[in-house]
């Protein structure tokens, strides 16, 4: 256990009046106000831990307004100025491309994949194609060839992204995304921002505070929410501004990534990475050494409780937007969101041991979630309850 503590993490004692007063530390000497320690109950020595801030970086920082405008235009592929650049793929080739995307999604994102099975066929294929591109991008940094990663590789990957959007795919999996780009009003900015997140992974393996971590979560996951809205569609009867729906989608991505981080703490530690705010670890009397030791202490449990509370906060923010999507998209989105929340439940069920155990949601629990998600998807939120 680390010996560095902030004031918020120091023990308290009880005055004769019953009021809790924190001890103060000066030059290795402890001083305090006059206290009747002898009559204080044993539980008074319990450490008082801070409540962590839930606020990240203001959404205006990411300049997504233009993306929202471009992706909100009524989309007709035949009216695109660059329609002549859309490659003419043979139907069987496209079928094979999307099938490969489906298999990759089914193998590597089981919880997410289950939600996609509730979508219409056209939306399924588009989401699979987007997922595969995002996964391939992530694997540049975390995959088997990550040792060869460099900024130059990411530059070439970004050039390849522009080729995809210009109708010049490099391989079959790229072709699936090219077809999706010409079928839905997707803007390139969220894709480019995700590549920026990979650049962060090259130069950073620690995050000093939650604002830094939030920025990373936006780049690698909030962007996925922005990519997905044009595919899911917004209901014509939506009661909140379009920008608010996109904000909610971004929050859903943040919640998903925070959940991924909490689920994968032990696995990331093996790779020498700690995706946890350093200042918050210190507030709980913890540090990297505690993560690498893989020992679950009471301090770790308290720390995890606060981290889980924050992840749930972002899922709560996402709910309003999920209820304003096209009626055929609400059920799969609600399902995916509720299934991801169950990963947080699984961490709690494991007594907050995410250092040696990977939180797992059994398929039976996933299936039992679907009726509840369907029920939530039937009732769009009222204007009076809009949070955004």
The mean pLDDT value for 195-222 works out to 94
Measured between alpha carbons, how far is 248 from 329 in angstroms, rounded to an integer?
15
pTM: 0.82
| Structural domain containing residue 136 | 88-203
Statement to judge: residues 197 and 219 lie in one domain: no
Asked if 62 and 168 count as a contact pair (C-beta separation under 8 A), the reply is no
Identify which has the larger pLDDT, 12 or 220: 220
Identify which has the larger pLDDT, 49 or 369: 369
Statement to judge: residues 104 and 127 lie in one domain: yes
Statement to judge: residues 278 and 246 lie in one domain: yes
Dump pLDDT digits (tens) for 320-337: 899 999 999 999 999 999
Residue that terminates a domain, selected from 184, 203, 222: 203
101: enclosing H helix or E strand: helix 91-108
**Residue showing tokens 């959404």:** 59
Does residue 262 sit within a domain? yes
Dump pLDDT digits (tens) for 172-205: 999 999 999 999 999 999 999 999 999 998 888 8
Statement to judge: residues 329 and 355 lie in one domain: yes
21: enclosing H helix or E strand: strand 20-22
For the chain, the domain total comes to: 2
Does position 168 have pLDDT exceeding 70, yes or no?
yes
The mean pLDDT value for 104-129 works out to 91
- Identify the bridge partners of residue 368 per DSSP, sorted by sequence position: none
Does residue 295 sit within a domain? yes
Statement to judge: residues 210 and 346 lie in one domain: yes
Statement to judge: residues 162 and 211 lie in one domain: no
Does residue 16 sit within a domain? no
Statement to judge: residues 156 and 198 lie in one domain: yes
């Amino acid at each position: 256990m680390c010996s560095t503590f902030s004031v918020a993490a120091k023990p308290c004692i009880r005055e004769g009046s019953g009021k809790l007063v924190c001890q103060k530390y000066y030059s290795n000497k402890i001083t305090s106000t006059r206290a009747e320690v002898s009559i204080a109950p044993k539980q008074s020595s319990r450490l008082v831990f801070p409540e962590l801030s839930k606020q990240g970086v203001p959404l205006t920082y990411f300049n997504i307004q233009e993306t929202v405008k471009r992706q909100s235009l009524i989309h007709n592929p035949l009216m695109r100025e660059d329609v002549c650049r859309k490659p003419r793929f043979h139907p069987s080739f496209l079928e094979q491309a999307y099938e490969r995307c489906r298999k990759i999604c089914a193998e590597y994102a089981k919880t997410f994949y289950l939600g996609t099975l509730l979508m219409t066929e056209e939306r399924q294929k588009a989401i699979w194609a987007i997922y595969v591109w995002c996964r391939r991008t992530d694997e540049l940094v975390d995959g088997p060839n990550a040792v060869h990663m460099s900024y130059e590789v990411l530059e070439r990957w970004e050039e390849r992204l522009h080729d995809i959007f210009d109708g010049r795919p490099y391989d079959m999996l790229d072709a699936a995304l090219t077809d999706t780009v010409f079928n839905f009003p997707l803007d390139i900015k969220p894709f480019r921002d995700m590549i920026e997140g990979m650049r962060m992974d090259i130069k950073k393996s620690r995050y000093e505070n939650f604002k830094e971590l939030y920025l990373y979560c936006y780049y690698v996951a909030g962007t996925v929410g922005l990519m997905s809205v044009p595919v899911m569609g917004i209901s014509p009867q939506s009661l909140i501004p379009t920008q608010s729906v996109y904000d909610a989608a971004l929050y859903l991505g943040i919640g998903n990534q925070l959940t991924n981080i909490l689920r994968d703490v032990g696995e990331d530690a093996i790779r020498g990475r700690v995706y946890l705010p350093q200042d918050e670890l210190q507030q709980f009397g913890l540090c990297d050494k505690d993560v690498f030791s893989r020992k679950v202490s009471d301090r770790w449990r308290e720390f995890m409780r606060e981290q889980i509370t924050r992840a749930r906060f972002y899922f709560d923010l996402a709910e309003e937007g999920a209820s304003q999507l096209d009626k055929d998209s609400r059920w799969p989105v609600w399902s995916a969101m509720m299934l991801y929340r169950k990963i947080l439940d699984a961490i709690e069920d494991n007594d907050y041991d995410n250092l040696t155990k990977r939180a797992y949601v059994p398929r039976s629990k996933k299936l039992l979630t679907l009726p509840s998600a369907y029920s939530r998807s039937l009732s769009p939120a009222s204007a009076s309850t809009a949070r955004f």
